[in-house]
Amino acid sequence: MRKPLRVLQLEDSDRDAALITHLLQSAGYDVDCVRVWEAESMRAALQNGTFDVIIADYHLPQFDAGAALEMLHATALDIPFIVVSGILCEEVAVAMMRSGAHDYLTKNNLARLAPAVERETRDARARLERKRAEQALQESEQRFRRLFESAVVGIAIADADRILEANDYVLDILGYTRPELEAGAITWARITPPDLAALEKYAEHQLLQTGRHPTVEQDYIAKDGKLVTLLVGRVVLDSTPDSRFLYFIVDVTDRKRLEQQFRQIQKLESIGQLTGGVAHDFNNLLTVISGYAHAALAELPPQYPVYEYIEEISKAANRAAELTRQLLTFSRREVIETKSIVLNDTVRDFDKMLRRLIGEDIQLILSLDPQAGMIRADRGQIEQAIMNLAINARDAMPNGGKLVIETASVFVDEQFPRMHPSVATGPYVMLTVSDTGSGMSQEVQSHVFEPFFTTKEKGRGTGLGLSTVYGIVKQSGGSIWVYSELGQGTRFKLFFPAAGPAPDEGERASTAATRVAGAETILVAEDEEGVRRFVRQILERNGYTVLESSSGREAIDVARKYAGPIGLLLTDAVMPEMGGAELAEQIAAMRPGVPVLCMSGYTDRIFAQRHASATYIQKPFTSMALLTQIRALLDRVCSAETPFAAT
C-alpha cells in the first residue's frame, strides 16, 4: 500500500523536479507535490497548505534554500527541510545544517533521498506527537492548578508527616500562609488534636491498604489554637514507601455550631414545656394552700395559738409561687402585660438599685445609645432580666471588677442569622450586659440557660436566674446570645424587636370594686378538685350561687340544663379533652354576653388568641384577689341588660 506524501518542492528545473518525484514514487510514496521557485509563492504555499516535507534546491535565480529556511522558521511550522544541491560544498552543507536544515544531498547522489524523507517524516511525526502530549499535559496541569486554587472546597496533597501542597481554601481554614506551607510548618502532629492522633494513624493505614478512606468529620487545630471541624475525604495518589495522599476538605465548623445551637434551642424548648407543665400543676396546689391560708388568717385573731404557723405557711406558699413564676417565665407561659417602653429609661430607673445590688467594689458603667428606641415588653420582666444578669455578673467578680450595661439600635441583616439562627432579620434594640469576671467554658455556656443548672456552691442560687432571663427575652419576641472565655469575662446580648411609640393609653381607671360579695350565678369549670372546692367555698361564702363542673364538657351540660341566668364563666385555661378556649366559645354560643374569667397556671396561647378580651387571674391567687376580679367583671355588665336564659 502506497504511503501518501505531501511535498513542497522548491525547484526551477522541470527535469530535476520530475526526477525527485519519480524517485519518491519508486520508493512507495503517493506523492502530492506543490512546486514553487520564488519567495511569494513559497510564502503563499506555507500559509495555505500542509506538507510532510520540503525539498529545496540550494540555489534558484530569484530565491535560495537559505531564505526559504528562514521563511519556514518564521512560521514556527515543524516541517522536515531537505536541501538538494547540484554541487557538493562542505562549508555550504554545514552552514545549512546549522541553520536548521534536516539533511543535505547532492543531485548526483539522490539514492539517499527516499531514506532521508522516510527518516525525517518519521521523526517529525514523533516530534508532533510528543509536542501534543506535552501540550495536553501542560493544559491538564493548568486546568488542575485553576481547579486547585479556585475550588470552593479545600484540596491538599500530603504525605504521612505534613501537608505538601494546599489551595487557599485550606490555608484560610487553618490560618497559615503559603510561605509557612512551603517551609513545612503544617505538620499532622501540629494540627491534629492529641486525642485524635490514633484515629489519624488508623486512617493513614486504611488509606495504604484500600486506596481510600470514608469521608469523615474531624476536628483539627488551627494556627491560633482554635478547633475547626472539617469534612475530609482522602485517596492515595501513589503507593510507594513515600506515599502521598490527596485530601478534599470542607469547613463545617459554622454548620456544626449552628446544629449545636439548634439542638440547644430544641432542648430548651422541651425543658420549657416540661417546666411549664410542672409549674401549672404546682400552681394548682399552691392555690389551695395559699388560698386557705389567707382565708384562715382573715378569720383568726393574731393572738390565736396557730396564727403564727398559718402565717408561715402563707409566706412559704408565696416563696413557692415566686419560684414557679420563674419557671413559667423560662417556659414563656407567664401572664404578662406588654407595653411600649423606652429601654434606656428602664435601665436608668434601675440604676440605683443595681448599684446597691452589686456592691461598691464593682464599677457600674452605663453606655446608653440615645437612638435606642422602644420595645414591646413587660417592664417588670425587663427589670427582672437586668437584675438577674447583674447578680450573675456580681457573683463572677468576687474581687471586684466592671459591669457595663449598653443599649444600641441595630439592624440585623441576612448575614447575622447564619451564625445565630434564633435571630431574625430586622430592626432591634440591643441590650448588652458585660462583666470582667471569671468567664465560662464552652461546656458551661452550652448549659447556661437550662433551669436549675448552676456552677455555684451548694446552697447559693436556684439555677433559675439565667433561664428566667432566657424566658423573658423569648416571651418578649427577642433572642439572647452569650459569649465568654475563661478568665476573660462574659457578655450577654439581648435582642428585642424595635417598636414604635406606644399610643397614649392614658391612666387606666381603677376597676377595683368597693364590694366583693354578690348574688349572681357563676359557672365554675376546674379539673383540679382541691382548687374547685376552694373556689366554691369562697364564692358561696360571699353570696354567689356556684354551678360546679370538673371538665369543659360537664360545664356545657350544666349550662344547658340550668334554667336561670349565668352571670360569669370561671374556667381553668387547660383541662383534659376540652380546654378553656373551646369551652368559652361554646358557652358564648349558648349564652351570649356572659363574661369569662380564666384561671391560669400559665398562659394558654390558644385561649389568648381566641379571646383577646378575656380576663386572667394567675394561679396561685388569694380569695380577695379572686373576688375582686369577679366583682369587677360583673359590674361591667350593664345593669339594664337582661341576662339570657338557657336555651
**DSSP class of residue 37?**
-
All three cell numbers of 253, joined, read: 465548623
pLDDT digits (tens, 9 = 90+) for 544-584: 999 999 999 999 999 999 999 999 999 988 888 888 888 99
| Superfamily designation of domain 339-499 | Histidine kinase-like ATPase, C-terminal domain (3.30.565.10)
Plot region of 534 (φ>0 → left; ψ -120 to 50 → alpha; else → beta): alpha
Q: Where is average pLDDT lowest: 109-118, 184-193, 264-273?
A: 264-273
In one letter, which amino acid is 611? H
Q: Where is average pLDDT lowest: 198-207, 378-387, 415-424?
A: 415-424
User: How far are the Cα atoms of 88, 351, 572 from residue 326, in angstroms, in the given order?
Assistant: 114, 23, 21
**Comparing 3-129 with 521-636, is the CATH topology the same?**
yes
Half-sphere exposure of 628 (CA within 13 A, CB side): 11
- Alpha-carbon gap, residue 605 to 503, rounded angstroms: 24
Nearest in space to 548 (alpha carbons), one of 561, 535, 538: 535
Domain boundaries, the chain: 3-129, 151-251, 261-324, 339-499, 521-636
- Cβ neighbours of 281 (radius 10 Å): 13
pLDDT digits (tens, 9 = 90+) for 334-353: 545 567 888 888 888 777 77
Per-residue pLDDT band for 644 (boundaries 50, 70, 90) equals very low
Nearest in space to 426 (alpha carbons), one of 497, 476, 342, 376: 497
pLDDT digits (tens, 9 = 90+) for 2-61: 899 999 999 888 998 999 999 999 999 999 999 998 999 999 999 988 999 999 998 888
In one letter, which amino acid is 374? M
Architecture per CATH, domain 521-636, reads as 3-Layer(aba) Sandwich (3.40)
Note the CATH number of domain 151-251: 3.30.450.20
Q: Where is average pLDDT lowest: 143-147, 201-205, 376-380, 430-434?
A: 143-147
All three cell numbers of 354, joined, read: 443595681
Class of the domain covering 3-129:
alpha beta
